[in-house]
Structure 1
Amino acid sequence: MKRKLRTNILVQSTSYLFLLLLLFLALFPAVWMFITSIKPPEEVFTLPPKLTVDNPTLVNYGRVIFDSNIPRSFFNSLVVTVLTTFFTLLFAMLAGYGFSRFVFRGSNTISTGLLFGQMMPGVVLIMPLYMMFGKLHLIDTYGALILANMAITIPLGVIMLRTFFDTVPRELEEAAKIDGCSNLGALFRIVLPISKPGIVAVSVYTFLHTWEEFLFALILSNSSSVKTLPIAVNEFSSEFVIDWGGMMSASVVISVPVLLIFILCHKSFVKGLSDGSIKG
C-alpha cells in the first residue's frame, strides 16, 4: 500500500513538474518581449542578457504610437480582421447549413474539396491570387486582403459549423416551420443559438488567423494605407540594424487584442473545439 502511494506521489510530482516546465516555456517569450519593450537602448544589448530592468521607460511605446505607422496599421488590421470574420461567419453558416440539411448531387465531392482547400498552404495560393487580383485592380486594397484570408478561413469554418449543425435535432426546425418559419428563419432562430460554441470557435479562429497573417499582407499591400500590423512590425528591422525596443513594443500592442479576445471567449472557444471533435 505504501509503495503504491509513493508511486502515485512520484507520478503526480513528475506531472506537475512537466506542466510547470511547459508553462515556463509558453510564458517566457511573452515575458521577455514585455521586459525588452520597457528597456532603454543601452540595456537591450547588455551581456549577459538580464531578465530585470534597471531603468524602465515607456519611450519605446511613445515612438511606436506617435512616430511610426503602427496606429494606421492597427486600424488596417482591425478593418481587415473584422470584415474577414464577418464574411467568413456569414458564408460558413449558410454553406455549413446547406451541407448539413440538404443532400444534392456532388455534395460529397465539394466537402472533400473543402478539406483540400484547407490543406493548401498560403504560399501555394499567393501567386494565382496575385494574378487574379492584379487583373481586377484589387492589389493594395482591403478587398484583396479580405478575400485572400477568406480563402483560408472559410473551408475550416464550413467544416466546423456543419459538424455542429448535424447535431441539432431536425424536429426543432420542423416545429419552427410549422409555426411559419422559413429555412433561413429556422437557421437563425433555432440552429444558430444552439450552435453558439461552434460560432465562437470559428470567430476566434478567423480573428486570430487574420490578425497575425503575414504572407498575404506582405505581397498584396504596397502602401501604408493598407499594410497591416505584422508588416508594420517587420519594418522595425532593416538590413543592418534591428530596433528591438520598438519591435517588442509594437509586438505588445499587437498582442493586446488577441489577449482580450482569448480572455473573453476562451471558455466558449475550448468548448466549441472539444464539442466539435467529439460530435464529429
Structure 2
Amino acid sequence: MSVSIAPPGSQDTTPDPQPPFVATELGTLRRRPSLFRSESRAVRISAWVAVIVCGGFGLLPVYWLLATSLTPRAQVFSYPPKLFPTEISFEAYTALASNPDLFGYLRNSIIVSVITALLSVIVSAYMGYSFSKFRYRGRRSLMYFVLASQMFPQALLLITLYSVFSAYGLLNTYAALVLSFTTFTLPLCVWMLKGFFDTIPDELIEAARVDGASRLRIIHSIVLPLSAPGLVAAGLFAFVRGWNDFIFALTLAGPDKQTLPPGLVNTFVGEAATAWPELMAASLVVSLPVAIAFMALQRHLVGGLTAGAVKG
C-alpha cells in the first residue's frame, strides 16, 4: 500500500466531498420561501373572498333600500323583480320632504336618543367605577345581578312598565321612553365601562389621592378623561338603542311623542296598501345619522369595545 505525501508548500485544491443530505437541506431551504409565498397568497385570497362575501351579505339590504326608493311606484311589484331599476324616480324623497309629521318624529327621536345616551353614560360611569375600584360586601353579587337583568326578554317587561308608568302618569311622555331605554342599556354600559376602568392603574389613583385629590376630583379629572373611548362606545350604544326601538316607542308614547320607527310604520303602512318607495326612502334617510356617527367615532368605538379584553 503506497501513501502519497504532498510536498511542503503545496495546497490541495481537491474539494472535499459533500454529504448528500447537505444538498438536500439546501434545496429544501431554497424551496421553502416559495412555499411560504404561496401559502400567504392563498391566505390573502381567502381573506378577501370572506370580506367580499360578508360585505355583500351586509350591504345587499342597504342597496335594496336604495333601489326600491328610486323605483317608480308602478314598477315596485313587477315580476320578476329587477336588481337594477330601469327608471329612476325621486318622488319618494320629495314626498318625505313635504310630510310635516316626519319632522316631528325626527325631533322626538333626537330628543329621546340624546337624553338616553347622556343618562346611560352618567349612571353607568359611576356604577362601573364603583365595581372596578371599590371593594365592599356584596359587590360581586350586585355585579352579576346587573348582568342577569339582560337575561329577561324586554317584551315581557313591557306590561309591567306600562302599568308603572300609567300609575305615575308618565304615559305618552318623553320620560317614559327615556327611562325604559335607559333601563335596558345600563347593564351593558356598566360592564363595558368597568372593563375600561380595570385597565387604569390603581397606582395612578393612589398618587392622586396622596396629592390630596378627592374621590370626585379623581373621577372627573383623571379617570373619565382617560376613559373617553369607553364613554363614547357606551354613549353610542345607548343612542342607537333609543334610535332604533320600535315596540316601547309604539306602546308607551302617544302620536305626539312617537319616534321614527313607529312613526314610519303608522305613516306609510296601511291596511289596504303600503307605500314601499316612501318607506324605503325614509328608512334609508333615518339610518344616515347612525351610520355617520359610527364612521366618525369608529376609532373610539373600537377602543372602547376592546378595552379590558387584555389586562396589562
TM-score under structure 1 length normalisation:
0.93
Superposition map of 1:230-269 within 5 A: 230-235=261-266, 236-269=268-301
Q: Distance in 2 between matches of 1:215 and 1:17?
A: 38
Mean Cα deviation higher: 7-16 or 206-215: 7-16
Q: Is the 8 A contact 1:88 1:154 kept in 2?
A: yes
Deviations 1:13-60, CA, capped at 9 Å, x for gaps: 233222211111111111110121122212222222223333323221
Greater mean deviation of Cα atoms: 67-76 or 270-279: 270-279
**Per-residue CA shift, 1:158-214, capped at 9, x if unaligned?**
111112112211222232233332111110111111112211111111111111011
Q: Of 257, 262, 281, which residue of structure 2 is paired with 1:226?
A: 257
1:89·1:157 contact (CA, 8 Å) conserved in 2? yes
Give the alignment's TM-score, normalised by structure 2.
Answer: 0.84
The equivalences for 1:1-280 within 5 A come to 1=31, 5-6=37-38, 8-67=40-99, 69-223=101-255, 225-235=256-266, 236-279=268-311
- Work out whether residues 115 and 155 of structure 1, in 8 Å CA contact, stay in contact via their aligned partners in 2: yes
d(CA) in 2 for partners of 1:246 and 1:181?
A: 57
After the TM superposition, which segments of 4 or more aligned residues of structure 1 sit over 6 Å from their partners?
none
More deviation in 264-273 or 51-60? 51-60
Question: Partners in 2 of 1:162 and 1:127 — Cα distance?
Answer: 31
3-state SS of paired residue (1:16): helix
Structure with greater helix share of residues? 1
1:3, distance to aligned residue in structure 2 (A): 6.2
Contact preservation (8 Å) 1:233, 1:247: yes
Separation in 2, partners of 1:270, 1:29: 24
CA RMSD of aligned residues (A): 1.8
SS of the residue 1:27 aligns to: helix
| Matched-pair contact (CA < 8 Å) for 2:199–2:307 | no
Matched residues in 1 for 2:54 and 2:274: separation?
Answer: 29
The C-alpha deviation readout for 1:75-100, integer Å capped at 9, x for no partner, is 00000000000000010011111122
Question: Which has the higher Rg, Structure 1 or Structure 2?
Answer: 2
In 1: Cα distance, 2:232 partner to 2:157 partner: 27
The residue type paired with residue 264 of structure 2 is: V
The answer on whether the counterparts of 2:116 and 2:178 sit within 8 Å (CA) in structure 1 is yes
Identity of aligned residues (%): 34
Distance 2:225 2:99 in 1: 45
Amino acid at match of 1:31: Y
Aligned residues: 279
Gaps of 5+ in 2: 1-30
